[in-house]
Amino acid sequence: MIQHQHKINSDLCGQPLTKQRQMVYEQPLNEKTRSFLRLEFLFEQARAHTFRHSSWDSRAALNALFDILNVFSRSDIKTELMKELERQASFLDRLTENPQVDRSRLDEVLGEMDILIDRLYAMHNNSLDLRNNEFLSAIRQRSAIAGGCCDFDLPTYHYWLSQAEEKRILDLQAWLEPFDPIHQATTLVLRLIRDSGEASEEIAEAGFYQRSLDSSNSCQLLRVNLPDDSPFFPEISGGKHRFTIRFMEHSILERPQQSKENIPFTLTCCTL
| Residue 136 to residue 13: CA distance in whole angstroms | 47
Average per-residue pLDDT for the chain = 86
How high is the pLDDT of residue 185?
Answer: 95
Task: Give 43-105 as a 3 state SS string.
Answer: HHHHHHHHCCCCHHHHHHHHHHHHHHHHHHHHCCHHHHHHHHHHHHHHHHHHHHHCCCCCHHH
| Residue 48 to residue 60: CA distance in whole angstroms | 9
Q: Give Cβ neighbours of residue 21 (< 8 Å, ≥ 6 apart).
A: 227, 228
| Residue 194 to residue 270: CA distance in whole angstroms | 6
How high is the pLDDT of residue 172?
Answer: 95
Regarding whether 246 and 167 lie in a shared domain, the answer is no
How high is the pLDDT of residue 6?
Answer: 42
Regarding whether 143 and 8 lie in a shared domain, the answer is yes
Regarding whether 200 and 141 lie in a shared domain, the answer is no
Q: What CATH number is given to the structural domain containing 61? A: 1.10.3900.10
Regarding whether 138 and 7 lie in a shared domain, the answer is yes
| Residue 256 to residue 269: CA distance in whole angstroms | 26
| Residue 161 to residue 89: CA distance in whole angstroms | 44
Q: For residue 161, tell me if it sits in a domain.
A: yes
DSSP H/E element including 24? strand 22-28
Q: Which of 140, 158, 192 is the last residue in one of the domains?
A: 192
Regarding whether 201 and 159 lie in a shared domain, the answer is no
How high is the pLDDT of residue 103?
Answer: 81
Regarding whether 266 and 214 lie in a shared domain, the answer is yes
Q: What CATH number is given to the structural domain containing 208? A: 2.60.440.10
Q: Which of 192, 218, 249 is the last residue in one of the domains?
A: 192
Positions of the chain with pLDDT lower than 50, given as ranges: 1-10, 13-18
Q: For residue 24, tell me if it sits in a domain.
A: no
Regarding whether 126 and 149 lie in a shared domain, the answer is yes
Regarding whether 217 and 182 lie in a shared domain, the answer is no
How high is the pLDDT of residue 126?
Answer: 66
Q: For residue 43, tell me if it sits in a domain.
A: yes
Regarding whether 207 and 155 lie in a shared domain, the answer is no
Regarding whether 64 and 126 lie in a shared domain, the answer is yes
pLDDT in tens, 134-163: 999 999 888 888 888 888 889 999 999 999
User: pTM for this one?
Assistant: 0.84
| Residue 247 to residue 76: CA distance in whole angstroms | 35
Q: Give the residue numbers spanning the domain of 229.
A: 196-270
Q: For residue 249, tell me if it sits in a domain.
A: yes
Our count of domains for the chain comes to: 2
| Residue 165 to residue 54: CA distance in whole angstroms | 8
Regarding whether 120 and 213 lie in a shared domain, the answer is no
Q: For residue 128, tell me if it sits in a domain.
A: yes
| Residue 113 to residue 201: CA distance in whole angstroms | 32
